[in-house]
Structure 1
């Protein structure tokens, strides 16, 4: 979406709304006390009353089940697998507790181990002590099961799906921020309950992953897989909130399409990591893996993320006096590669030091404000809060994308929720705009900019999207990694000119960066599957590739453009993660046209000698009710040959037309 178009009116029509009962009112949070912008330097104050003093029950904030059957174990460096298994066996024998078996390894290197029964808090303590007594073990902790961790309160009443009712983005100056950027080229990770089919989200969404490792939480009958579909987070007596879709819409819903709502970062992409399922439950280790994978950090047993996020939103909060080590390790790894994790402060009207992941060092922690520019009565507060943003309340909720389903999947709709869950994606969207201006911006620079440009609300800093975006100088694109290696090996600036974009996600895997010399643009694409290759967009093949849909239609180049033996040229393209290969081939007589080499027609054309046999395609493959056909023209005689594939027979017939 172009910056000049974004100021147009956003029309909407009411589809449906989610209605539920709000939790009880809470005392207003104290104002005034915040720490410096460097969260890493913050020290948690002494906490009185323990974890139980945190919240208002499940309606206010998530909690941790007292029992768990899993533990996260960090072994000392270079401990082999056989010693790890022996350590678990010895721990069970010493503690007279069930033996644990290794389930998987997390993205930060710890082992997740599981017993065959739930253990009480006392038994967990004994198990941890027994495991840590082994000299091969560095540390161990229970893998907590969080319940109702969605940091939102149920919706109040139906609202109109109209930009005029989206007070949140306007309240923090987002429309003025769009003159600075719209999140183009940035992927926002949404670690939440998963994705739903929605017209305001579908075109914005790149492939995600389901990280729920057990079937109870997942509700889809299996464990981890490549389908992050939200199956509903309902529990007995409470319908589904479709929390992940609501959060995603706030951050980056399709905008200026005369329907629905507008996202804070309207040109950013969305990627779902499903980490919470039934009743908003999930293991902390699954949540940690989900946010790391979103950031592009490899996770054992999970395919590499082809479209890494530059900011990840985690709108969850659960009772915990300390940050789980597995969660802290994940945030540390993300921090090291300049990917901020934006988290909800929690909805318990207590110190955020008593809620995870808000009490994890390095996260960007967001509290909630109301339409009246006041802290809401439910928001957590204290020195761990970095900024505040619109979260809404019963009188002024936050409107976004949801689903009509209550205890099953229904239809796309719009509905309202309130909570720090809604405040966090407002901030994630602003960060996406900042990241468009400078993709290398570090986490602490982002934190400091958000705070220094924000306005005062009861001693806390409310985000100002326009001021934060303006404060980030648009950095001159640089070249690095595999694209830099290719660029330098093929003539660099002398051959292709200077970079005019940063590396951008292709949407189908890998990245692309564009260079311009004398008005001619060359794009270098890279993915793990195809390596680095260029498309010269000013030539016939490059122009045709772009006009017919580029990566979305054909995938990425598998080689550079090459000459044919009959005075033409060709280039091969592969769609990552599939077997689809396409050759775009050019001649002076036919121009550039694609041949899908994995189709029946393409295979027969190849058997007949490619362009040297039947000639060059005169158009793309044409679909018909019965199948498809494509015509080819020979260079020497100009003869036209038609290949016709019939679906019923599966055969290709070759016919000479003239």
Structure 2
């Protein structure tokens, strides 16, 4: 299927999804306020003492001179003192294929119960194989892998998302439960608790430990993850700007080297969408604070398939100065024939589109700093359930909520959500080698070592992430 037809399909499908995902008690981007609404209070426009007592403060984000509040925004004096607390969305587009349960340990076995003859978990990780992250092949040759130099030891990154399931065998030793936190208003902890496995998938891409050699290997398996949950486990409730800004600011305060933020907003027009200026202001202050604490915010560029360059289109928070935006790439045809003879790295050269080709859904243009592996899809193949079509998505850790509790597994997702954690893992590698490197130095190393890719600067910014060149520069 042509690149253009795949993009056109997504725009139609994406708008249908976005319009259905509104948060109760919050203003959606383009929606209307509910009586008990959430809003942000700018303490540079109004003093704390002027905020009425019947306005509930949900988050006091003192580092940014902001409050996330609930109540009547008109009760706060000053027309410029409040802005709507709009809904945020997870930047993943597709899920596909059967979820592989990692239940052998529960049955007393030694590893996952893969179907006989099916690709193993490590074989399905094209994103890590293209980067030669670790020894995932049976015939690695004489070349060094990225993890021969560093595995991210000594670094710390935040995953601001749906929560991270630290009971997954590939994540059990990397999540700092003491520092992890729930930033929603529900009663649960930092784990997903019904909020979905998006954050768990992201975490595996960053720091999966491949616990027994048959699981997910992350870019930086020896980094430490701080899980900040901003999506609620309560049905009908989602994530708000106030929750996410508070969570990101707290990540910087906790000494994180990077914060993965695979979250965004629908494309907006800054001239007609009134919420844009207030939200942009919040993220601008956030970026300034994060950078003052030497933390890089890594953000997914969005999945609307749009050029973010025109002045009448804006994608937040990617386009805010100081936030590192990542577009997505992916292959078409990886392991589709599913033959043993084509396994290992041979599969990376038998592709219709290369792993660094722009994904059909990715935003591009203004705000794109680099591209990274987020997965792609041939929609005709997906619609016709062609065997293996989902192998072009990103394979990582997932969790399913069941009546008997959470069940760890592996599954496929695609989106700029899946591309951002590739870069977050890269930051962990750099900071492991150069703990005193400034944010500006880390950014420069990632961009200067990125390689040229199909579509050029428009789709890839400085280029496509290249971990081998990066760690060689950082040593």
Return the TM-score normalized by structure 2.
Answer: 0.71
1: CA distance between counterparts of 2:464 and 2:316?
21
CA deviations 1:263-317 (Å, max 9, x no partner) are: 111211211000112568211111011112122x2xxxxxxx4xx3211101112
Q: Does the 8 A contact of 1:348 with 1:379 survive in 2?
A: yes
Per-residue deviation, 1:258: 1.6
2:286 match:
330
2:228 match:
273
CA separation of 1:106 and 1:294: change in aligned 2, threshold 3 A: same
CA separation of 1:81 and 1:150: change in aligned 2, threshold 3 A: closer
1:167 match:
126
Pick aligned residue for 2:191 from 229, 247, 253: 229
Secondary structure at 2:82 match in 1: strand
1: CA distance between counterparts of 2:58 and 2:228?
20
Q: Does the 8 A contact of 1:143 with 1:283 survive in 2?
A: yes
CA separation of 1:292 and 1:103: change in aligned 2, threshold 3 A: closer
2: CA distance between counterparts of 1:185 and 1:62?
38
- Structure 1 stretches of 5 or more lacking a match? 1-23, 30-51, 89-98, 117-123, 216-221, 234-239, 298-304, 474-658
1:187 match:
156
Per-residue deviation, 1:446: 2.0
1:469 match:
471
Per-residue deviation, 1:406: 6.7
2: CA distance between counterparts of 1:272 and 1:422?
16
2:215 match:
260
Per-residue deviation, 1:338: 1.4
Secondary structure at 1:367 match in 2: strand
Matched, 1:157 2:157: no
Per-residue deviation, 1:402: 0.6
1:203 match:
173
Matched, 1:105 2:60: yes
Give the number of the structure whose alpha-carbon radius of gyration is greater.
Answer: 1
1:212 match:
183
Secondary structure at 2:452 match in 1: strand
Per-residue deviation, 1:333: 0.4
2:407 match:
411
2: CA distance between counterparts of 1:141 and 1:262?
42
2: CA distance between counterparts of 1:361 and 1:55?
26
2: CA distance between counterparts of 1:60 and 1:440?
44
CA deviations 1:109-142 (Å, max 9, x no partner) are: 21223226xxxxxxx7xx49x7434xxxx64211
1: CA distance between counterparts of 2:121 and 2:358?
25
Matched, 1:378 2:338: no
CA deviations 1:149-187 (Å, max 9, x no partner) are: 111123221374421210102223423322321100111
Secondary structure at 1:264 match in 2: coil
2: CA distance between counterparts of 1:131 and 1:350?
38
Per-residue deviation, 1:80: 5.6
2: CA distance between counterparts of 1:188 and 1:257?
23
Query: What is the RMSD computed on CA atoms of the aligned residues?
Result: 3.0
2: CA distance between counterparts of 1:365 and 1:71?
26
2:49 match:
82
Pick aligned residue for 2:376 from 393, 406, 414: 393
Pick aligned residue for 1:70 from 14, 24, 38: 38
2: CA distance between counterparts of 1:320 and 1:441?
34
2: CA distance between counterparts of 1:289 and 1:456?
36
Q: Does the 8 A contact of 1:60 with 1:378 survive in 2?
A: no
Matched, 1:367 2:327: yes
Per-residue deviation, 1:443: 2.1
- Kindly indicate which of the two structures has a greater share of residues assigned to strand: 1
1:656 match:
none
Pick aligned residue for 1:358 from 308, 318, 327: 318
2: CA distance between counterparts of 1:402 and 1:433?
23
Report runs of 4+ in structure 1 exceeding 6 Å deviation: 59-63
Secondary structure at 2:203 match in 1: helix
- Structure 2 stretches of 5 or more lacking a match? 23-27, 101-118, 135-144, 269-275, 332-353, 378-388
1:429 match:
425
Aligned residues: 373
Secondary structure at 1:379 match in 2: coil
**1:424-463 residue pairs with structure 2 within 5 A?**
424-457=420-453, 458-459=455-456, 460=460, 461-463=463-465
Q: Does the 8 A contact of 2:184 with 2:231 survive in 1?
A: no
Matched, 1:140 2:82: yes
Per-residue deviation, 1:253: 0.6
Does 1 or 2 have the higher relative contact order (CA < 8 Å, sep 6+)? 2
CA separation of 1:166 and 1:76: change in aligned 2, threshold 3 A: closer
CA deviations 1:7-27 (Å, max 9, x no partner) are: xxxxxxxxxxxxxxxxx9424
Secondary structure at 1:191 match in 2: strand
Q: Does the 8 A contact of 2:95 with 2:414 survive in 1?
A: yes
CA deviations 1:44-87 (Å, max 9, x no partner) are: xxxxxxxx99953326997735134122112248x7643333xx
